Amino acid sequence: MNNQNEDRFTAYIKGTLTQAEREEIDEQLLTDEEALASYLMSLQLLNQNEGLAHQKNNKTFTFPQIPNQREFTKEIMKQVDSSVRSEKRKKKSGKLPWQHLLSHKMIHYTVAASITVIFISTGVFDRLAPGNIYKSETLATTTYSEIMVKKATGWLDTLKPKP
């Protein structure tokens, strides 16, 4: 542990750092195990040093007292509860329950195939055929989509077992 970290952790323990510095150290303690070990060592050294310095007066280093511990605990629990609720709201507002299905390729292929079948059965592709551009729609000939539907149903009928 280097001397600079020891000094920072000592100032953190005594409460002499600014809010931004305290938040930085809090984050460091949560993410870095070496920093946590250094902090605990600083805490132990501070406890020993303060105890030796005040040994004549029979005083040891103590942390500041909280005047009303129940109110302090209630306030902390309210903050924890509100942060949990806000995280749940973010999760709920972020995505719909079925939205993860939209990322699957099979869903895309199924929708595309369904739309294609609908277009074929309604005759949308008949208007796109080069031979049908100049023909009138009143002719009695069967359309390309009708031919495709008849072939598909005929093929499906051959797959169906006979009673």
CA 93 and chain centroid, separation = 11
Q: Is there a domain that residue 87 lies in?
A: no
Q: Is there a domain that residue 73 lies in?
A: no
Q: Is there a domain that residue 94 lies in?
A: no
Same domain, 55 and 106: no
The string of pLDDT tens digits covering residues 42-99 is 888 877 776 545 545 555 556 667 788 888 888 888 888 888 887 777 666 666 667 7
Q: Is there a domain that residue 84 lies in?
A: no
Which residues constitute the domain of residue 106? 99-159
What pLDDT is stored for residue 139 in this prediction? 55
Q: Is there a domain that residue 81 lies in?
A: no
Same domain, 58 and 12: yes
Same domain, 54 and 110: no
What pLDDT is stored for residue 58 in this prediction? 53
pTM of the model: 0.33
Same domain, 1 and 57: yes
The string of pLDDT tens digits covering residues 127-140 is 676 665 555 555 56
Domain final position from 36, 62, 88: 62
Counted domains in the chain: 2
What pLDDT is stored for residue 76 in this prediction? 86
Q: Is there a domain that residue 67 lies in?
A: no
User: Residue 94 and residue 86: Cα distance in Å, rounded?
Assistant: 12
Same domain, 54 and 5: yes
Q: Is there a domain that residue 123 lies in?
A: yes
Q: Is there a domain that residue 74 lies in?
A: no
